[in-house]
Amino acid sequence: MSILILCGIALTMIAGLASGNCMLPMKFIRTWQWENLWLVFSLMAMFILPWGLAVLLVGDPFRIYAGVAPSELLLTLLLGAGWGVAMALFGLSIARLGLALGYAVIIGLGSLGGTLVPLFFKNREVLGTGSGALILSGLAVMVVGIAASAQAGRQREHGQKAGAGKGYGTALLLAIVCGILAPMINYSFAFGQDIAVRAVQMGVSPIRAGWAVWPITLTGGLLPNLAYSMYLLTKNKTWSAFGGPWRADGGLTVLMSVLWMGSMGVYGVATVYLGALGTSVGYGLFQIFMIMAANGGGLVTGEWTAAPPAARRTLYGGLVLLTVATTMLAAGNR
């Protein structure tokens, strides 16, 4: 395995660690409601940071966009908007299911679509090779690991409180819908690579060219998140929460934004090092590391303290399977 691939895997691990824990500060919000923090998070993570970093790292992004077909920009924007719907559901799902289980279901399902769609459409020739067989086998192991994590969550819910089954089922269904829509961010990044190619043609380093794609993708994602947050703020009459002190809750929300956008940027760089399969296998690895990090955060913050021993054993088994899947996907990317 080349040094570039190893660098790509290391960067993907860093990105997964940051993204897997980016929602952890949500546990410590004091006075804001979900819609307050999500409005600020959306503005920071999906508009201010991506556009600011694009200007800093690629120069004038609008000069790049002027040389890209409008249909390419529109597709990137619309796929980003589809992901934006998932992102709104994501915040609600994490609040209801917790870090460990929420990430396992949402990110796990998203990793399947996010890995397979670019693989089938952009690198189909790999499927008939030994590497392709290893990648598909790794995805199968990942599915089993995700199922084990979900089962651990159900065992935890039943062990901690009576009557949890109904609420758990509704929350799990919400997470499944989110997981189906979630990989649209990777579709947007993968199918928006003409923007990155144009950036390279204009003298931008390939390592930084991906930053030209994120503003279009995340502007699409911003729109449904802003709309839903403002709807809830009006419905629940929680605009007034912004009138209180901002330092604690505002600082935590900004930290969430920095961790999340930073993880996306590092993932974009990792895809360059991983080569042709960067937006397929790389996405699968990114999601696995994210699940592991989220489970670690959930364990550290006590989500599983009162869980039955059987639930913890099932969770650990799921993590072992995800580790095996990581090894198989990494080997298949040679």
Encode pLDDT of 220-260 as tens digits: 999 999 999 999 999 999 999 998 778 789 999 999 999 99
Contact predicate 79/220, CB 8 Å: yes
Q: Is the pTM of this model over 0.85?
A: no
pLDDT of residue 64: 95
Q: Dump the DSSP string for 216-239.
A: HHHHHHHHHHHHHHHHHHHHTT-G
Sign, CA dihedral 277-280-283-287, equals negative
Query: So where are the chain's domains?
Result: 3-332
Please write the tens of the pLDDT for every residue from 145-177: 877 877 777 777 666 554 444 566 777 788 888
pLDDT of residue 146: 76
Contact predicate 210/268, CB 8 Å: yes
CA atoms of 278 and 186, how far apart (whole Å): 11
Contact predicate 258/251, CB 8 Å: no
Q: Which of 61-75, 182-196, 267-281 has the lowest mean pLDDT?
A: 267-281
Please tell me the total number of residues recorded for the chain in this structure.
334
pLDDT of residue 164: 47
Greatest Cα pair distance in the chain: 61
Q: pLDDT category, 12, cuts 50, 70, 90?
A: confident
HSE (side-chain half, CA atoms, 13 Å) at 199: 24
SS3 129: coil
Instruction: Provide mean pLDDT across the span 32-52.
Output: 93
pLDDT exceeds cutoff 50 at 318: yes
CA atoms of 243 and 225, how far apart (whole Å): 21
Query: Comparing C-alpha atoms, which of 99, 85, 250 is closest to residue 182?
Result: 85
Contact predicate 257/18, CB 8 Å: no
Of the two residues 61 and 115, the one the predictor is more confident about is 61
Nearby residues of 117 by Cβ (< 8 Å), 6 or more positions away: 183, 186, 187, 190
Please write the tens of the pLDDT for every residue from 271-300: 888 876 666 677 777 877 877 777 777 777
- The H or E element spanning position 131 is helix 130-160
Q: What are the backbone angles phi and psi of residue 324, rounded to the nearest 5°? A: -60, -45
Which residue is listed with tokens 């829509």? Answer: 181
Instruction: Provide mean pLDDT across the span 50-66.
Output: 93
